[in-house]
Amino acid sequence: MYDLLKTTMTMTMKVANCIGGYVLLTVLTLSVVKARDPAVHDNFLKCLKQNTETASEELSKIVFAQNNPSFTTVLQNLARNKRFKTPMTPKPLLIVTPLVESHVQGAVMCAKTAKLQMRIRSGGHDYEGISYVSKEPFMILDMSKLNAITIDVKEEVAVVQAGATTGELYYRIWEKSKVHGFSAAVCPTVGLGGHISGGGYGNMLRSFGLTVDNVIDAKIVDVKGNLLDKKGMGEDLFWAIRGGGGASFGVVVSFTIKLLPVPEKVTIFRTEKSWDDKTADFVLGWQKIASVTDKRLFMRLVLQAEGKTLKATIVALFLGGADEVVSLMGKEFPVLGLKKENCSEVSWIESVLWWNDPKSLENGEKAEILLDRKPNNSGFLKRKSDFIKKSISKEGWETIFESIVELGKTGIILNPYGGRMDEIAPDATPFPHRKGNMFKVQYTVNWVDPSVEADRNYTKQVKKLFNVMTPYVSKNPRGAFFCYRDIDIGLNSFGQNSYKEGKVYGTKYFKSNFDRLVKIKTAVDPQNFFRNEQSIPVLSAANASTHSFYISFQGKF
- Which residues are annotated as catalytic? 484
The beta-strand segments (E) located in 259-363 are 260-261, 266-274, 297-306, 309-318, 343-346
Q: Residue 221 belongs to what H/E stretch?
A: strand 215-221
In angstroms, the Cα distances linking 59 to 52, 254, 466 are: 9, 21, 47
User: If we measure between CA atoms, which residue out of 492, 365, 384, 390 comes closest to residue 442?
Assistant: 384
Mention every residue, 6+ apart, whose C-beta is less than 8 A from residue 107.
Answer: 48, 96, 98, 118, 139, 141
Quickly count: other Cβ atoms within 10 Å of residue 216's Cβ. 11
Question: How far is the C-alpha of 248 from the C-alpha of 505, rounded, in Å?
Answer: 14
Taking every pair of Cα atoms in the chain, the longest distance, rounded to a whole number of angstroms, is 71
Question: How far is the C-alpha of 89 from the C-alpha of 86, rounded, in Å?
Answer: 5
User: If we measure between CA atoms, which residue out of 295, 267, 271, 268 comes closest to residue 283?
Assistant: 271
How many residues make up the chain in this entry? 557
Helix-then-strand count for the chain, H and E:
18, 18
Angle at 213 between CA 442 and CA 130, to 5 degrees: 45
Mention every residue, 6+ apart, whose C-beta is less than 8 A from residue 314.
Answer: 269, 270, 271, 272, 286, 299, 300, 301, 302, 336
Measured in whole angstroms, how far is the alpha carbon of residue 398 from the centre of its chain?
31
In angstroms, the Cα distances linking 268 to 185, 211, 287 are: 16, 22, 19
Question: How far is the C-alpha of 257 from the C-alpha of 310, rounded, in Å?
Answer: 40
Quickly count: other Cβ atoms within 10 Å of residue 17's Cβ. 5
- Dihedral pair phi/psi, residue 553, rounded to 5°: -90, -20
User: If we measure between CA atoms, which residue out of 361, 375, 370 comes closest to residue 170?
Assistant: 370
Angle at 343 between CA 342 and CA 347, to 5 degrees: 160
Question: How far is the C-alpha of 143 from the C-alpha of 130, rounded, in Å?
Answer: 15
